[in-house]
Structure 1
Amino acid sequence: MASALMTAVPAPPAGLYVPSGVYRPQADTGLLARALAHEGIGPGTEVMDIGTGSGALALLAASRGARVTAVDVSRRAVAAARMNGVRLGLPLSVLHGDFAAVSRGRRFDLVLANPPYVPSPRARLPGHGPRRAWEGGLAGRQVIDRICERAAALLRPGGVLLMVHSALCGPRTTVEHLRRTGLSAEIPMRAVVPWGPVLRSRRAWLQEQGFVGAGEDREGLVIVRAERTGR
Structure 2
Amino acid sequence: MKTKIAVLLLACSLSGFAQKRKLVWSEEFNGKTLNEKVWNFELGDGCPNICGWGNNEKQLYTRDNHELRDGKLVINVTKKDDKFYSTRITTASKKEFKYGRMEARAKVPTAVGTWPAFWMLGANIKQVGWPKCGEIDILEYVGRAPGEVFTSLHTQSSHGNTINTKISKIAGIDKGFHDYAIEWNEESIAFFVDGNYVYTYNPAVKNEDTWPYNQPFYFILNVAVGGNFGGPSIDEAAFPQTFEIDYIRVYQ
Name which structure has the greater RCO, CA cutoff 8 Å, separation 6+.
2
Q: Which has the higher helix share?
A: 1
- Rg bigger for which structure? 2
Q: Which has the higher strand share?
A: 2
